[in-house]
Amino acid sequence: MALRVKALESLLVEKGLVDPAALDVMIDAYENRIGPRNGARVVARAWTDPDYKARLMKDATSAIAEFGYSGAQGEHMVVVENTPAVHNLVVCTLCSCYPWPVLGLPPVWYKSSAYRSRAVIDPRGVLAEFGLAVPDEVAVRVWDSTAEIRYLVLPERPAGTDGLDAEALAALVSRDAMVGVAKVPGLTP
């Protein structure tokens, strides 16, 4: 199905019948219709419930399915955790390999050739362009999604959020943080 849409779209774009930029804007407008909020709830639960986090790290597909979020057959989710020593970044060479049950539709930049090729070659440079400077002593790991395995980054819980419940925490977690191109900002007192 995805290939049939792609074929029709690319033919119409080539003939100038469809403006690809306007099409991306429109798709972007719908991306929250699946929405990264699902992923944010998973992250917030992992921050507040150690047992859940253990299940999530062991078998992300099942732990995410506890929320009722599950995808097409054969889809396999893996959660990678950011720590003070490791920063994780997710990329995919195929635009469809994105954990849409938890993150919605991929943003335009995620599908761009530039991101897809450069995230692997120069992840620190790409992160810097997103405004995220990763110190040299922190390792950057790049996870290349496949049709079988899709990754979700578990960001670090920001300081100063001890008093927040899962719902308030989920509101802090952005899509970009779960792809690994941003951190979850701390609360400004």
Partner 1 sequence: MSQPERLAALPSLPRDADGPVFAEPWQAQAFALTLQLCEAGRFTWSEWVETLSSVLRDAGPDDGSRYYEHWLTALERLSLGKSLTDRAALDARTRDWAEAYRTTPHGQPVEFLPKGVSRET
Cβ at position 115, least distance to partner 1 in Å = 9
Nearer to partner 1, 6 or 58 (CB): 6
SS3 category, 154: strand
**Measured distance CA(78)–CA(136) in Å, rounded:** 26
Structure tokens at 53: 């986090």
Q: Is 122 in the site for partner 1 (CB under 8 A)?
A: no
CB of 83 to partner 1, least distance (A): 25
96 annotated active-site: yes
Q: Is 21 in the site for partner 1 (CB under 8 A)?
A: no
Active site residue 10: no
Q: Work out the end-to-end distance of the chain between its first and last CA atoms, rounded to an integer number of angstroms.
A: 49
Burial 92-105 (b: 16+ CB within 10 A, else e): beeeebbbbbbbbb
10, 96, 113, 145: which is the annotated catalytic residue? 96
Does residue 149 belong to the site contacting partner 1 (CB under 8 A)?
Answer: no
Rounded Cα–Cα distance for residues 162 and 164 (Å): 6
Work out whether 83 is an interface residue with partner 1 (CB under 8 A): no
Using rule CB under 8 A, residue 6 touches partner 1? yes
Does position 117 interact with partner 1 (CB under 8 A)? The reply is: yes
- From residue 163 to residue 182, what is the string marking binding to partner 1 with x (rule CB under 8 A)? --------------------
Q: Is 70 a catalytic residue?
A: no
Q: Give the DSSP per-residue string, 15-62.
A: TTSS-HHHHHHHHHHHHTTT-THHHHHHHHHHHH-HHHHHHHHH-HHH
- 69 belongs to the binding site for partner 1 (CB under 8 A): no
Is 151 in contact with 90 (CB distance < 8 Å)? yes
Supply the residues annotated as catalytic: 92, 95-97
Contact residues toward partner 1 (CB under 8 A) are 1-12, 15, 17-19, 22-23, 26-27, 30-31, 33-34, 72, 93-96, 98, 100, 105-106, 113, 116-117, 120, 144, 146
